[in-house]
Structures are given as structure tokens and as C-alpha cells.
Amino acid sequence: MTISIIVAVANNNAIGLNNQLLWHISEDLKRFKSLTSGHHIIMGRKTYESIGKPLPNRTNIVISRNPDFKPEGCIVVCSLDEALVIARNEQEVFIIGGGEIYKQALPLTDRIYLTRVHGSFPADTFFPELDLMEWDVESIQKGKPAESDELHYTFANYTKRR
């Protein structure tokens, strides 16, 4: 099983504020949907609550310490290890957030699909600092800024060095 992280990160490693994304980049959302459709996705409770519903055409696994948290259409587990056991027969599983789940998953991760948003943003949730000596660049593609927000971004795929 390949464990993949998919994330959009600002230059200052910001990924969220007040349980919300910091930007709306249509091409990034399309990429997210294309890559994760048909797969198991693993997220923390706060990420699930920010989305508000299970994402279609995916097996939604939510990590929560609250035994009463039981959103319809999701599998709820109490640890990342438990989530990975559920997804063990998958070819690729995606970690989709948030900050704490990324931090736990990073040492186990084989691939990162990263959208680098060129700018720094105020945030209360951050992606862990990547040690680029541990990762090989698989591909880099400059994104086309949307006319509505003029945000510049780059798609980068990384694989863990073995």
C-alpha cells in the first residue's frame, strides 16, 4: 500500500485558519478530486467538520477520540494506525488533513501531492516542515492563476527516498 499525503500549503506552511481552507483554487480542487476519487481518504475530525459531509466516490475514514462522533457515511476510528489497517488492501490511500494528522502520517508517507501556494497567509494550522533531503521531486507543474483571485501556485509531487 502506498500512503500518500495530499495538501495545499502556503510558503509559510499555512494550511488553515478557523477550521477553513485559506484559499479556493479551482484547479487544486479538481486535482484533489481526480487523485482521490475511488480511494480511501483519511482525515481528522476537524477536517471532516470543515468539509461537512463525506466526499463522494471515496471511502471516508475519520480519526476522532470522541466515541460519540459517528457521522453518517464515514468509518470512524480512534488512531491513524487503525485507519491504515482498514485501508490495508488498497493500492494507495490518501491522508487529507489536518495539521495533526499530517504530522503523524509524515514518517509513514511514501508520496506527497503538494500544491504550493505562493504567498504567506495568517493561519492557525500548519503543515510540518519537509526535510527535502528525504524526498525526490517526481514532477513540478506551474498552475495557471484563476482570474478571480490571481493566486499563483505550483503542483509538486514528491516520493520518499529509499
pTM of model > 0.85: yes
Q: Domain extents for the chain?
A: 2-160
Q: Which residues contact 86 (CB under 8 A, 6 or more apart)?
A: 40, 61, 75, 77
Per-residue pLDDT of the chain (162 residues; tens, 9 = 90+): 999 999 999 999 999 999 999 998 989 999 999 999 999 999 999 999 999 999 999 999 999 999 899 999 999 999 999 999 999 999 999 999 999 999 999 999 999 999 999 999 999 999 999 998 999 999 999 988 766 667 899 999 999 998
- What does the DSSP 8-state code read for residue 14? E
Alpha-carbon span 111 to 140, nearest angstrom:
14
Q: What spatial distance separates the first Cα and last Cα of the chain, rounded to whole Å?
A: 15
| The amino acid at 55 | L
**Architecture of the CATH domain 2-160:** 3-Layer(aba) Sandwich (3.40)
